[in-house]
Amino acid sequence: MGSEVKSDEDTDNKGQVWFVNHKFDHLVDEEAERHSDANVKNRLSALLLMRFAFKSLGVVYGDLGTSPMYVLYNTFPDGIKDTEDVIDALSLIIYTLTIIPLIKYVLIVCRANDNGQGGTFALYSLLCRHAKLRTIPNQDRSDEELTTYSRSTFHERSHAAKTKRWLEKHSCSKIVLLVLVLVGSSMVIGDGILTPAISEAVVLVAVAILVVLFSVQHFGVDKVGWLFAPIVFVWFLLIGGIGIINIWKYDSSVLKAFSPVHVYWFFRKGHTWPSLGSIILCITGTEALFADVCQFPVLSIQIAFATVVYPCLLLAYIGQAAYLMKKPDHVHDVFYRSIPDIIYWPVFVVATAAAVVASQATISATFSLIKQAVALGCFPRVKVMHTSKKYSSHIYIPEINWILMILCVAVTAGFKNQHQIGNACGFAVVIVMLVTTLIMILIMLLVWRCHWILVLIFTVLSLLVEGTYFSAMIFKIHRGGWVPLVIAAAFFISMSVWHYGTMKRHQFELQSKVPIEWILGLGPSLGLVRVPGVGLVYSELANGVPHIFAHFITNLPAIHSVVIFVCVKYIPVYTVPEGERFLVTRVGPKSFHMFHCAARYGYKDLHKRDDEFEKNLFENLFRFMRLESLMDSCMASEVYSPCDQGDSKDDANLPDPHKVTTTFSPNSIVSVVSPEYTVRTMSSSQMISQDEIDELEFLTNSRDTGVVHILGKTVMMARRDSEFYKKILIDYIFTFLRKICRENNAIFYCPRECLLNVGQVIIV
């Protein structure tokens, strides 16, 4: 009944047809070697793993680690009537911590990372590669040939193939899946905003620490991790040590809570059901753990949880339960009352710092989620900054950082009732858990190709726990549970409306793109005045001539002697290798001097100012023109890309295109073929025709004359006869988001002195 795989992930045939040996000026991405989950055990030394595990405490586990401050207090808001209720609640806490954070997330969900990238969007990108969900614009079949576009084919009768066909057949399933992803990401952000407010720290002190916390984010995760890790590490040692003291001093019989029988007795007592909404707070911050996977190797996160976080949390809860067995009247202040007098004030200081630093987990997770959402067309464009030359996943987003700070300060200062904020956090946590479970079911079927019995076990166990908690939280929406809904709704509306508007704009571009026949009918001069220079016309079309070009030449009948249509697009992969980034095609005959260049990025990649984008574009264009003659002679192809597979099968004697590597140097072109073919070396004079030399010289002279960046400044409006909701979404919400997001010239780092904006209004 298991899935029979016809062909496993085939990377031998990708990215190797016309690989040009060249040097790009770019940051060395050491993370690809250090953070690859598949190789981390072999590549990372034990010492380096320990360093990463230590730093992960300050970045990943602050939120989860501070839960002992308020869980038992919120569990018994009306006091403890029977000390056996404490044992039952403790048993449920123990097994909740074991099943959800340990088994589900640390051991299972973290393994579903997309080459080191975590979060709901990373899971979604995996599904997009294995099924044609068609919710990401600008996709092209050539993108599937990237070496990082890992995908498997399945036997037609396998469960994976059936799931794939079901997803692709029903359009509503694609929409529901995208909505789940957006809801999950929005709830993660909402949960993190509520975290500082639930602590018992003095409001003024908490606000001051929050301002400092958000002010140091521009230093990056690497430095912030070293700054906060000692605080969180000392915190875990303190709560674990205090727990041991309380168990020994008060009542060691609480250890019987490890028996699952007490979980049964907890549910047997009907009056304890409302307490579920508070007990779930013991796992708040778990989803941020998965979103922060991109910051550290998975193994280091697992080591930190298994050796420090999990045992210290258990000791803390057991110790508080032992204290309550003897002093049940102290439940309303159990955390601070259970601290030995001799270390009370040191623990109080560390607790205050740890409670506010707990937001770091969600801050880092939010940066990663927003970056992925922008790349997948689900969030307005924002400024994304690198904070590390070693690790490309360490980023900082100024606009999001200050928005989070304002919201955190407002919630911390505004909420006075800790029970209400506890209900709010609990509701956000359970929603995120359910979303992750539903997406993981598809991951296990499509990506991992697990046996249906294993999928069923995971589904039943996860939904049994999370569904039970959800049933208790649904009745607490009016008691504070509405807060994360409001916060998440704001982010969800922004994401969904931006994606909706982006898809509508892309549909307009596809429907109104200029027919190639019209271009050919204009002749080499395009019926225009061809002025010296190169015009880079930016559009969102993966191929073809965009509507903005026709709009431009209609109103201004002149264009540059060389025109390059540039499309900067993001693909649902974690990264695109530099050697495969540019896909160059020719538009029309050679005499037209028109090209199309698609610059492809993964959701981890950044289009940075120091990328020398223009230089790299021309280097690839020169290579395309130089290799075009060779490709015409041996493969009759008009497309050059390092990842192009080639389709020519006319001549059986031609080398297998999957086994050819071409290296270019100024004096020679060396074609290295597989062993069954010969190796041919020809001088440049033999390979390059006079026409090609003339075109290369023409392009060089045009580039030296000047390069102008032509960008569209579009205003999108709904049709007059559109539905009311569409007018609201497009004319108001999307227009507002478009105004506050970054401009195209800022995104592409176009020099202002070489920038030409072309305005147009599009009706959708």
741-750 pLDDT, tens digit each: 877 666 666 7
Strand, coil or helix: 567: strand
pLDDT at residue 316, as a whole number: 96
For the segment 441-447, the average pLDDT, to the nearest whole number, is 89
What are the beta bridge partners of residue 665? 668
530 or 305, greater pLDDT: 305
116 or 230, greater pLDDT: 230
* Strand 529-539 relative to strand 707-717, pairing: parallel
pLDDT at residue 202, as a whole number: 61
The pLDDT-based confidence of 663 (bands split at 50, 70, 90) is very low
Helix or strand (DSSP H, E) at 302:
helix 298-304
The pLDDT-based confidence of 180 (bands split at 50, 70, 90) is very high
Q: Are 109 and 287 in contact (CB under 8 A)?
A: no
Longest dimension (CA), the chain: 95
Q: Are 192 and 497 in contact (CB under 8 A)?
A: no
pLDDT at residue 141, as a whole number: 73
656-661 contact pairs (CB < 8 A, 24+): 657/17, 658/12, 658/13, 658/16, 658/17, 659/16, 660/16, 660/17, 660/18, 661/16, 661/19
pLDDT at residue 256, as a whole number: 93
Helix or strand (DSSP H, E) at 270:
none
Kindly report, residue by residue over 36-94, the tens digit of the pLDDT. 444 444 455 788 888 889 988 988 898 888 889 888 888 888 888 888 889 999 999 99
Q: What are phi and psi of 559, to 5 degrees?
A: -150, 160
Strand, coil or helix: 278: helix
Q: Are 612 and 25 in contact (CB under 8 A)?
A: yes
**Closest C-alpha to 389, from 29, 25, 23:** 29
User: Hey, what are 185's tokens?
Assistant: 């990401």
586 or 650, greater pLDDT: 586
Spatial distance between the Cα atoms of 273 and 384, rounded to a whole number of angstroms: 45
In angstroms and rounded to an integer, the radius of gyration of the C-alpha atoms of the chain is: 29
CA 568, 572, 573, 575 torsion-angle sign:
positive
For the segment 425-444, the average pLDDT, to the nearest whole number, is 88
DSSP notation for 174-210: HHHHHHHHHHHHHHHHHHHHHHHHHS-S-HHHHHHHH
- What is the DSSP-derived secondary structure letter of residue 26? -
pLDDT at residue 245, as a whole number: 95
pLDDT above 70: residue 669 = no
561 or 633, greater pLDDT: 561
For the segment 264-288, the average pLDDT, to the nearest whole number, is 82
The pLDDT-based confidence of 434 (bands split at 50, 70, 90) is very high
The pLDDT-based confidence of 303 (bands split at 50, 70, 90) is very high
**Closest C-alpha to 308, from 241, 252, 363:** 241
pLDDT at residue 196, as a whole number: 64
700-706 contact pairs (CB < 8 A, 24+): 701/532, 702/532, 702/533, 702/534, 702/560, 702/561, 702/562, 702/593, 703/534, 703/562, 703/618, 705/532, 705/533, 705/534, 706/532, 706/533, 706/534, 706/754
Spatial distance between the Cα atoms of 215 and 228, rounded to a whole number of angstroms: 14
pLDDT above 90: residue 321 = yes
pLDDT at residue 120, as a whole number: 87
Q: Percent of the chain scored above 90 by pLDDT?
A: 19
pLDDT at residue 254, as a whole number: 93
Q: Which range among 5-9, 503-507, 600-604 shows the weakest confidence by mean pLDDT?
A: 5-9
pLDDT above 70: residue 641 = no
Mean pLDDT for the chain overall: 78
* Strand 594-602 relative to strand 5-7, pairing: unpaired
Q: E strands along 400-486, which residues?
A: none
pLDDT above 60: residue 435 = yes
pLDDT at residue 640, as a whole number: 45
What are the beta bridge partners of residue 639? 585
Q: What phi-psi label fits residue 636: left (phi over 0), alpha (psi between -120 and 50 degrees) or beta?
A: left
What are the beta bridge partners of residue 708? 535
pLDDT above 90: residue 273 = no
Q: Which residues are CB-neighbours of 565 under 8 A, at least 6 positions away?
A: 537, 539, 541, 545, 546, 549, 587, 594, 595, 596, 597
pLDDT above 70: residue 674 = no
Q: Which residues of 384-415 are buried (b: 16+ CB within 10 A; e: fewer)?
A: bebbbeebbbbbbbeebbebbbebbbebbeeb
Strand, coil or helix: 143: helix
Chain CA centroid to CA 184, Å:
12
3-state helix, strand, coil in the chain (%, to 5): 60, 10, 25
315 or 116, greater pLDDT: 315
Kindly report, residue by residue over 455-496, the tens digit of the pLDDT. 999 999 999 999 989 888 887 776 666 777 888 889 999 999
**Which domains, and CATH codes, for the chain?**
28-148+166-501 (1.20.1740), 512-763 (no CATH)
For the segment 566-590, the average pLDDT, to the nearest whole number, is 85
The pLDDT-based confidence of 200 (bands split at 50, 70, 90) is low
479 or 298, greater pLDDT: 298
Q: E strands along 606-706, which residues?
A: 639-640, 661-665, 668-672, 680-683
The pLDDT-based confidence of 7 (bands split at 50, 70, 90) is very low
What are the beta bridge partners of residue 530? 559
Q: Which range among 33-47, 259-273, 299-313, 424-438 shows the weakest confidence by mean pLDDT?
A: 33-47
Spatial distance between the Cα atoms of 160 and 158, rounded to a whole number of angstroms: 5
For the segment 689-710, the average pLDDT, to the nearest whole number, is 84
Q: Are 587 and 516 in contact (CB under 8 A)?
A: yes
Helix or strand (DSSP H, E) at 536:
strand 529-539
In 327-417, where does DSSP find H-type helix? Answer: 334-337, 344-357, 359-375, 398-414
